[in-house]
Amino acid sequence: MAPARMRMSRTALLPVVFLLVCAIPLAFAATWTLVFLLLPLLVAAWVLRVGVDVDDDGITARSLAGHRTVGWTELAGIRVSERRELWLVTTGGTEVRLPVLRARDLPRLAALSGGRIPQTQ
Protein backbone atom coordinates (compact mmCIF):
# COMPACT_ATOMS: atom_id res chain seq x y z
CA MET A 1 0.00 0.00 0.00
CA ALA A 2 1.32 3.45 -0.90
CA PRO A 3 1.66 5.82 2.06
CA ALA A 4 -1.43 7.93 2.65
CA ARG A 5 -0.81 11.42 4.00
CA MET A 6 -3.29 13.36 6.08
CA ARG A 7 -2.23 16.97 6.49
CA MET A 8 -3.72 20.30 7.39
CA SER A 9 -5.53 22.04 4.55
CA ARG A 10 -3.29 24.33 2.52
CA THR A 11 -5.86 27.09 2.94
CA ALA A 12 -4.40 27.46 6.43
CA LEU A 13 -1.51 29.24 4.69
CA LEU A 14 -3.75 32.24 3.92
CA PRO A 15 -3.61 33.59 7.50
CA VAL A 16 0.14 32.98 7.42
CA VAL A 17 0.43 35.25 4.38
CA PHE A 18 -1.62 37.86 6.23
CA LEU A 19 0.69 37.50 9.24
CA LEU A 20 3.71 37.99 6.96
CA VAL A 21 2.22 41.15 5.44
CA CYS A 22 1.54 42.51 8.93
CA ALA A 23 5.03 41.62 10.17
CA ILE A 24 6.92 43.30 7.30
CA PRO A 25 6.53 46.93 8.51
CA LEU A 26 7.43 45.89 12.05
CA ALA A 27 10.40 43.83 10.86
CA PHE A 28 11.99 46.74 9.02
CA ALA A 29 11.56 49.24 11.87
CA ALA A 30 15.02 48.37 13.23
CA THR A 31 17.76 45.89 12.44
CA TRP A 32 17.00 43.57 15.36
CA THR A 33 13.29 43.39 14.51
CA LEU A 34 14.00 41.28 11.41
CA VAL A 35 13.47 38.29 13.72
CA PHE A 36 9.72 39.02 13.47
CA LEU A 37 9.85 37.53 9.97
CA LEU A 38 10.72 34.17 11.48
CA LEU A 39 7.28 33.75 13.04
CA PRO A 40 5.35 33.49 9.74
CA LEU A 41 8.04 31.15 8.38
CA LEU A 42 7.76 28.85 11.41
CA VAL A 43 3.96 28.82 11.20
CA ALA A 44 4.12 28.01 7.46
CA ALA A 45 6.58 25.17 8.14
CA TRP A 46 4.22 23.85 10.82
CA VAL A 47 1.22 23.90 8.45
CA LEU A 48 3.18 22.07 5.73
CA ARG A 49 4.91 19.50 7.97
CA VAL A 50 2.52 18.42 10.73
CA GLY A 51 0.26 15.48 9.95
CA VAL A 52 -0.19 11.73 9.89
CA ASP A 53 1.13 9.12 7.44
CA VAL A 54 -0.44 5.67 7.16
CA ASP A 55 1.42 2.87 5.36
CA ASP A 56 2.22 -0.84 5.61
CA ASP A 57 4.64 -0.28 8.50
CA GLY A 58 2.18 1.57 10.72
CA ILE A 59 1.03 5.07 11.55
CA THR A 60 3.53 7.94 11.68
CA ALA A 61 2.68 11.11 13.58
CA ARG A 62 4.73 14.03 12.24
CA SER A 63 5.44 17.19 14.21
CA LEU A 64 7.50 20.22 13.35
CA ALA A 65 10.60 18.82 15.05
CA GLY A 66 10.35 15.09 14.39
CA HIS A 67 8.14 12.06 13.95
CA ARG A 68 7.04 8.93 15.79
CA THR A 69 6.02 5.71 14.08
CA VAL A 70 3.76 3.19 15.78
CA GLY A 71 3.85 -0.19 14.02
CA TRP A 72 0.68 -2.14 13.50
CA THR A 73 1.87 -4.82 15.96
CA GLU A 74 2.42 -2.12 18.63
CA LEU A 75 -1.04 -0.58 18.23
CA ALA A 76 -3.42 -1.49 21.04
CA GLY A 77 -6.18 0.97 20.18
CA ILE A 78 -7.24 4.54 19.54
CA ARG A 79 -8.46 6.89 22.24
CA VAL A 80 -10.70 9.88 21.60
CA SER A 81 -10.08 12.67 24.11
CA GLU A 82 -12.68 15.02 25.54
CA ARG A 83 -11.59 17.59 22.94
CA ARG A 84 -12.24 15.01 20.16
CA GLU A 85 -8.52 14.55 19.44
CA LEU A 86 -7.23 11.11 18.42
CA TRP A 87 -4.49 9.37 20.39
CA LEU A 88 -2.80 6.07 19.48
CA VAL A 89 -2.52 3.72 22.45
CA THR A 90 0.44 1.35 22.19
CA THR A 91 0.84 -2.10 23.69
CA GLY A 92 3.49 -0.59 25.97
CA GLY A 93 0.89 1.71 27.52
CA THR A 94 2.14 4.94 25.94
CA GLU A 95 0.02 7.30 23.89
CA VAL A 96 0.88 9.22 20.74
CA ARG A 97 -1.24 12.18 19.65
CA LEU A 98 -2.31 12.22 16.03
CA PRO A 99 -1.97 15.89 15.03
CA VAL A 100 -4.61 17.51 12.79
CA LEU A 101 -6.94 14.49 13.19
CA ARG A 102 -10.18 14.60 15.12
CA ALA A 103 -12.90 12.06 15.89
CA ARG A 104 -14.63 12.90 12.59
CA ASP A 105 -11.51 11.59 10.77
CA LEU A 106 -11.71 8.14 12.39
CA PRO A 107 -13.65 6.48 9.51
CA ARG A 108 -11.09 7.77 6.99
CA LEU A 109 -8.21 6.52 9.17
CA ALA A 110 -9.90 3.12 9.48
CA ALA A 111 -10.31 2.91 5.70
CA LEU A 112 -6.66 3.81 5.11
CA SER A 113 -5.48 1.19 7.61
CA GLY A 114 -6.48 -1.63 5.28
CA GLY A 115 -8.72 -3.31 7.85
CA ARG A 116 -6.24 -3.07 10.73
CA ILE A 117 -8.49 -0.55 12.47
CA PRO A 118 -12.11 -1.73 12.48
CA GLN A 119 -14.78 0.50 10.98
CA THR A 120 -17.33 1.76 13.50
CA GLN A 121 -20.92 2.60 12.76
- What's the confidence (pLDDT) of residue 107? 92
Cα–Cα distances in angstroms (integers) from residue 118 to residues 32, 38, 65, 78, 106, in the given order: 54, 43, 31, 11, 10
The predicted structure's pLDDT at residue 120: 67
Q: Provide the pLDDT for residue 121.
A: 58
Give the pairing of strands 4-7 and 51-54: antiparallel
pLDDT along the chain (121 residues), means of 10: 88 96 92 92 95 95 95 94 95 95 93 86 58
User: What is the predicted pLDDT for the residue at 1?
Assistant: 67
Backbone angle region of 117, left / alpha / beta, with phi > 0 → left and psi within -120 to 50 → alpha:
beta
